[in-house]
Amino acid sequence: MVAAAKCGSSSGRGTLRGRLRENESMATHTSWRVGGPADRFYQPADLDDLCVFLGGLDADEPLTWVGLGSNLLVRDGGIRGTVVCTTGALGHIELLLPNVVRAEAGVPSAKVARFSSRHGLAGAEFLAGIPGTVGGALAMNAGAFGSETWSRVAEVETIDRFGRIRKRAPADYEIAYRSVRGPAGEWFVAACFQLQTGDPEEGKARIRDLLARRGAAQPTQIPNAGSVFRNPPNDHAARLIETAGLKGLCEGKACISDLHANFIVNSGGATAADIERLIERVHAEVLQQHGVDLVREVRIVGETV
């Protein structure tokens, strides 16, 4: 089940076909629209090209993986080493079996929802409410509207830093609320979703309804990174933040949304430092006032200035 295989076509092996850029601003690759430069930024042409690229890296080269950057805060000092961006690269999606959809890590979660519905499959509609890619959804067990990513996963494919591909079952991972722990040194490159037979029109209607609910409750038109904190057991982070009197609080140009207290928005010109200070302030205030130690959902990477 987990035997490793080296990918890469015989004709393309050894020749890079993707785009490698140096000192790439991460502000253009995160939904908060902040972040300093990455030393190197690679967008592979496809999975075979990614294998070739990883196989040619030094064993100690720092690697950071990015999709749509929708759950990520990159500090203003940027990222040392190499960033691998799957968006626009690992974008293949297909109907593998009558009830199984295979999607690569760079496919937007919302596209999986629409694709599945169009093919008369039900159970993936909630993915339309997750503003990220399949890779990110797998890495954090992203969820929306009462459903979670791994509840639909039948199998995943991973890659290690030497370009070796493995297929793994959910049993290879410890899966919990917004948490996934698995074999070290592997990154998700694809997933197979096991779904049920459904009606295409009902699926489309369900997706429209979920998106309307999301748009009414979340600041989708202002740069943000989704929910900042996980919901604690039997409570909601937004309720704790709002009852602590923090709604609308700002640090520089980073503000807690007036629409949803668990969202921090970039009101225009915010820095990553502004956002991180606001995150820390919210955490401290909720702990002091409610005695609840909120766990951050947003991933923070990079160096301070």
Q: Is residue 232 part of a domain?
A: no
Per the CB < 8 A criterion, the answer to whether 4 and 166 are in contact is: yes
Active-site annotation holder among 104, 251, 276, 297: 297
State whether 251 and 161 are in the same domain.
Answer: no
State whether 161 and 254 are in the same domain.
Answer: no
State whether 24 and 163 are in the same domain.
Answer: yes
CA–CA distance, 206 with 195 (Å, rounded to integer): 15
What CATH number corresponds to the domain at position 150?
3.30.465.10
pLDDT at position 10, please? 40
State whether 111 and 183 are in the same domain.
Answer: yes
Query: How many other C-beta atoms lie within 10 A of the C-beta of residue 160?
Result: 15
State whether 105 and 204 are in the same domain.
Answer: yes
What is residue 79's three-state secondary structure?
strand
Q: Is 227 known to be catalytic?
A: yes
State whether 175 and 46 are in the same domain.
Answer: yes
Per the CB < 8 A criterion, the answer to whether 64 and 83 are in contact is: yes
pLDDT at position 212, please? 93
Per the CB < 8 A criterion, the answer to whether 185 and 89 are in contact is: no
State whether 212 and 242 are in the same domain.
Answer: no
Task: Tell which residue, 79, 91, 105, has the closest CA to residue 27.
Answer: 79
State whether 244 and 150 are in the same domain.
Answer: no
258: left (phi over 0), alpha (psi -120 to 50) or beta: alpha
For residue 4, how far is the Cα from the chain centroid? 25
pLDDT at position 146, please? 87
Q: Is 157 known to be catalytic?
A: no
CA–CA distance, 145 with 206 (Å, rounded to integer): 11
Q: Is residue 231 part of a domain?
A: no
- The pLDDT tens digits of the residues spanning 114-164 come to 999 999 999 999 999 998 999 999 999 999 888 999 999 999 999 999 999
Domain range for 244 is: 237-301
State whether 6 and 43 are in the same domain.
Answer: yes
Q: Is residue 229 part of a domain?
A: no
State whether 135 and 269 are in the same domain.
Answer: no
Q: Is residue 55 part of a domain?
A: yes
What CATH number corresponds to the domain at position 267?
3.90.78.10
Residue 205 has pLDDT above 90, yes or no: yes
Active-site annotation holder among 19, 178, 239, 277: 178
Q: Is residue 16 part of a domain?
A: yes
Active-site annotation holder among 104, 227, 257, 276: 227
Dihedral angle computed from the Cα positions of residues 236, 241, 245 and 247, in that order, rounded to the nearest 10 degrees: -100
Mean pLDDT computed over 67-80 = 96
Q: Is residue 226 part of a domain?
A: no
Phi and psi of 214, rounded to 5°?
-65, -45
State whether 45 and 145 are in the same domain.
Answer: yes
- 1 falls in which pLDDT band (50, 70, 90)? low
Task: Tell which residue, 224, 216, 201, has the closest CA to residue 145.
Answer: 216
State whether 35 and 150 are in the same domain.
Answer: yes
Q: Token pair for residue 287?
A: 């702990």
DSSP 249-299: -EETTEEE-SS-TT-EEE-SS--HHHHHHHHHHHHHHHHHHH---PPB-SE
Burial 197-229 (b: 16+ CB within 10 A, else e): ebeeeebeebbeebbeebeeebbeeebbbbbbb
CA–CA distance, 274 with 251 (Å, rounded to integer): 5
Residue 177 has pLDDT above 50, yes or no: yes
- 75 falls in which pLDDT band (50, 70, 90)? very high
Give the contacts of 68 (CB within 8 A, at least 6 positions apart).
Answer: 31, 87, 108, 131, 132, 133, 136
Q: How many domains does the chain have?
A: 2
- The pLDDT tens digits of the residues spanning 222-239 come to 999 999 999 999 999 999
